[in-house]
């Protein structure tokens, strides 16, 4: 089971990154839940979503202690870093977040996804981040993630190839980092 909190500004693709993960999980017949923040919090402010996937039934869709936190902006890191469970993972978009976590008991990755994705697709940062996550997850295949990307961009087929390229680049980046 993975419990993932994704947080950032509205417009950074925070909610769709969560959807990519849920769609990927479905591709592999896993159970999944995607719970977005909604309402005034989203309008011009921060957006976040809680994504869980598991081979077992998912009881609560809310997450008190995520295994993984992905922070696309500083307020998100401030808000959620203490909730991350011991030995969990915090990933920041280091193009936007210019500080480190205060936690000593988690793995911390600073990844400039905006810059890295921009070489392929300026709007592909969240798909790049999906790629980054796959080697960490270990149980979601590249194929499932590709299907998820194709599904989410069903109505915009033109953007699919460059997003798949972002996904693959993200996977390669993280595989190298984990070596």
Please give the residue ranges that form the binding site for other proteins (CB under 8 A): 19, 22-23, 26, 31-36, 38-40, 58-62, 64-65
Nearest approach, Cβ of 48 to other proteins (angstroms)? 12
Q: Which is nearer to other proteins, 92 or 153 (CB)?
A: 153
For other proteins, which is the closer residue by CB, 58 or 106? 58
Q: Residue 37, Cβ neighbours under 10 Å: how many?
A: 17
Handedness of CA 146, 132, 52, 153 (dihedral sign): negative
36 contacts: CB under 8 Å, gap ≥ 6: 15, 18, 47, 48, 49
Nearest CB to other proteins, comparing residues 30 and 96? 30
Kindly tell me the burial class for residue 176, based on how many C-beta atoms sit within 10 Å of its own C-beta (0-12, 13-18, 19 or more). Answer: exposed
Helix or strand holding residue 151 (H, E): helix 142-152
Report the nearest approach of other proteins to the CB of residue 36 (Å): 6
Nearer to other proteins, 10 or 112 (CB): 10
State the nearest-atom distance from the C-beta of 170 to other proteins, in Å.
Answer: 21
Q: Which is nearer to other proteins, 26 or 106 (CB)?
A: 26
To the nearest whole angstrom, how small is the minimum distance from the Cβ of residue 57 to other proteins? 9
Q: Which two structure tokens, joined as six digits, stand for 52?
A: 């869980």
The set of residues, in sequence order, having a beta carbon less than 8 Å from that of 98 and lying 6+ positions away, is: 74
Q: Which CB, 116 or 127, lies closer to other proteins? A: 127
Sign of CA dihedral 136, 139, 142, 145: negative
Could you tell me the smallest distance in angstroms from the CB atom of residue 129 to other proteins? 19
Min CB(126)–other proteins separation in Å: 16
Q: Is the dihedral of CA 12, 16, 18, 20 positive or negative?
A: negative
């Amino acid at each position: 089971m993975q419990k993932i909190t994704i947080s950032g500004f509205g417009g950074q693709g925070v909610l769709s990154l969560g959807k990519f993960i849920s769609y990927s999980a479905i591709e592999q017949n896993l159970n999944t839940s995607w719970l977005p923040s909604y309402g005034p919090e989203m309008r011009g402010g921060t957006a976040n979503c809680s994504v869980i996937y598991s081979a077992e039934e998912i009881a609560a869709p809310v997450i008190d202690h995520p295994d993984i936190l992905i922070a696309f902006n500083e307020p998100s890191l401030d808000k959620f870093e203490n909730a991350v469970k011991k030995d969990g993972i915090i990933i920041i978009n280091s193009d936007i977040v210019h500080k480190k976590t205060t936690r000593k008991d988690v793995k911390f990755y600073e990844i400039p996804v905006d810059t890295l994705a921009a070489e392929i697709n300026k709007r592909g940062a969240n798909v790049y981040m999906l790629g980054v996550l796959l080697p960490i997850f270990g149980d979601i295949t590249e194929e499932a993630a590709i299907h998820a990307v194709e599904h989410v961009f069903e109505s915009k087929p033109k953007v699919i190839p460059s997003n798949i390229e972002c996904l693959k680049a993200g996977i390669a980046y993280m595989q190298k980092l984990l070596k």
